[in-house]
Amino acid sequence: MHRLLGIETEYGIVVEGLGANDWIAESIALIRAYPGKAAAGWNYRGEDPRRDMRGFTVQNLAQNPDDAQFDAPGVKPMTREEERSDRILTNGARFYNDHGHPEYATPECNSILSVITYDKAGERVVQSAAEARSHQRGVPVTLYKNNTDYHGSSYGTHEGYLMARSVPTETLVQSLLPFFVSRQVFAGAGKCGVENDRSVNPDTFQLSQRADYFAVEASVDTLHNRPVVNTRDEPHATPAKYRRLHVICGDANMSEYATALKMGTTSLVLRMLEEGLEAPVRLMDPVRAGKAISRDVTLKAAVERHGGPPLTAIEIQRIYLAEAQKRLQGESSETDWVLAEWTSILDILAVDPSQAADRLDWAAKYALFRGFREDEGLSWNSAHMQSLDLEYHNTDVTASLYYGLVEAGSMITLVDEKDVLAAVLAPPQDTRAAIRGHFASRFADSVRSIGWNGIAFKHRGQDLLFDMNSLVEDNLQELNNDVRSTETLDAFVEVVHGKPLTSAGLNAK
């Protein structure tokens, strides 16, 4: 898709008998129980979640007052390194604790199928850690790839898209607001009930798990007063040329097809913005529109816009689709696949959403749960229905309702399990992640720290830094092949001679 892509997923964790202030310690223990090979030590160089792409840095991020429950009284504060307990995996991914949630961030990928494969590999990684931790504890540790614990807490599934910095920030925000609030018709993971809003009937099935939790149109925050468009500015590449769009409004998808459409359509919209597209439609109240769309399973809800009659989510998506067909058709086989499936899914949803139950999470859930709910006389927001909702997202393939549908041949899949299992161990060979993964596999004992954009390591008494900020443009197959063949650090240093390899500032975090 002419850009690097990635997905960061925070997993819900359940252990019987633990309270809210136990989750950070339990998540750390789970990360450290991961049985696979990994390097430790993350380099935070270039990371500042307070830096806003609109040209300023906020003094503090908004904090959810409910998060105080996770702070155990009397416990000695941990360093960032202790709390995160980062593991850099041999597939180039990052596995760490994020305030009481095990989080897996895929390596950088440059195709839709690749990012799906490594997202699914993440499910296998976290499940192996959960099984190892279960063995240590002697009681089950269960993980869910979802976005709510049904007790008022939401945790994120964040998408990353490398894009040109030349797109004006205001154009980016205004163009993405209508697209993001309407794409949930195919990207939503489905949800039983409504949270944080007493003005609506909680006996509701929703398209999206995250729609309940967004309060503003755009900001740098992620934990409280969440924005539809997150304006964090951490490019993890040459800052003068690139920004990394950090998308926090999406759901955790089990469906590979839904992930493909979510990532593929968003990438095409960004491509159009890079080529000069202005916002094709503007909504009167995007936050309110997102909630209204999520809470209407008929997909008939129309939301108000500037300069025209109200539009349904499908109609909004068709506006973006028409622009993409006009501008991008024929650009590549992957682009054409996304355009064809984008067209197909909108046509299906416009006629009969139930026909999408074999490919979309929300539609599969609705079809699976609706009859049971009616037979048992349960409300959508009942504890029983919400328990079933959680089990759809269970990472244990023997217990997951989603994987039960896959096993029955009722869900479309796009990647082979053998490729997923291979991706647990091996990085993509066509992005800079291959170099990170090689270090984790071969030279973990020499690593000082590893980040998205560089590797700090000790070699012959020297602290060296291999800067990877610029390694985002060309196909890296040849360099990666050369690096993969290196058995020693001497050989690695020789291979990358002439690349950005320095001996300064390596201990900077």
- Alpha-carbon 156 to chain mean position: 7
Q: Which two tokens stand for residue 465?
A: 């830094």
* pLDDT tier, 191 (very low <50, low <70, confident <90, very high otherwise): very high
244 — phi, psi (to 5°)?
-110, 110
| Predicted confidence (pLDDT) per residue in 24-49, tens digit | 999 999 999 999 999 999 988 878 88
Residue 68 pLDDT class (50, 70, 90 cuts): low
Q: Can you tell me the distance from the alpha carbon of 22 to that of 326, in angstroms, rounded to the nearest whole number?
A: 53
pLDDT higher than threshold 70 for residue 356 = yes
Q: What is the mean pLDDT of residues 466-493?
A: 91
Answer left, alpha or beta for residue 498, where phi above 0 means left and psi between -120 and 50 means alpha: left
pLDDT in tens, 206-265: 999 999 999 999 999 888 889 999 999 999 999 999 999 999 999 999 999 999 999 999
Which tokens go with 238? Answer: 């040459």
Residue 56 gets the label, from left (phi > 0), alpha (psi -120 to 50) or beta, of beta
Q: How far is residue 367's CA from residue 364's CA, in Å, rounded to a whole number?
A: 5
Token couple for 191: 């949800």
Whether the pLDDT of residue 413 is over 80: the answer is yes
What is the structure's pLDDT at 66? 59
Percent of the chain predicted with pLDDT > 70: 96
Q: What is the mean pLDDT of residues 478-499?
A: 91
Encode pLDDT of 288-311 as tens digits.
Answer: 999 999 999 999 999 999 999 999
Is residue 509 predicted with pLDDT exceeding 60? no
SS3 36: coil
Q: How confident is the model at residue 73 (pLDDT cuts 50, 70, 90)?
A: low
Q: What is the pLDDT of residue 180?
A: 98
Buried b (16+ CB within 10 A) or exposed e, 300-313: ebbbebeeeeebbb
Q: Which residues pair with 151 in a beta bridge?
A: none
pLDDT at 334: 97
The predicted pLDDT at position 507 comes to: 39
pLDDT of residue 481: 94
| Residue numbers annotated as active site | 98
**CA atoms of 144 and 396, how far apart (whole Å):** 9
Q: What is the pLDDT of residue 2?
A: 76
Residue 69 pLDDT greater than 70, yes or no? no
| Per-residue pLDDT at 506 | 39
**Interatomic CA distance for residues 388 and 378, integer angstroms:** 12
pLDDT in tens, 7-26: 999 999 999 998 878 999 99
Q: What is the CA radius of gyration of the chain?
A: 22
Q: Is 444 buried (19+), middle (13-18) or exposed (0-12) by CB count in 10 A?
A: middle
Higher pLDDT, 199 or 63: 199
Q: Which of 508, 483, 504 is nearest to 493 (CA)?
A: 483
Averaged pLDDT, 436-440: 96
Delineate the domains of the chain, giving CATH numbers in brackets.
Answer: 5-419 (3.30.590), 424-502 (no CATH)
**Would you say 222 and 205 are in contact if contact means Cβ atoms under 8 Å apart?**
no
Give per-residue pLDDT as tens, 141-190.
999 999 999 988 899 999 999 999 999 999 999 999 999 999 999 999 99
Average pLDDT, the chain: 93
**pLDDT bucket at 505, cuts 50 / 70 / 90:** very low
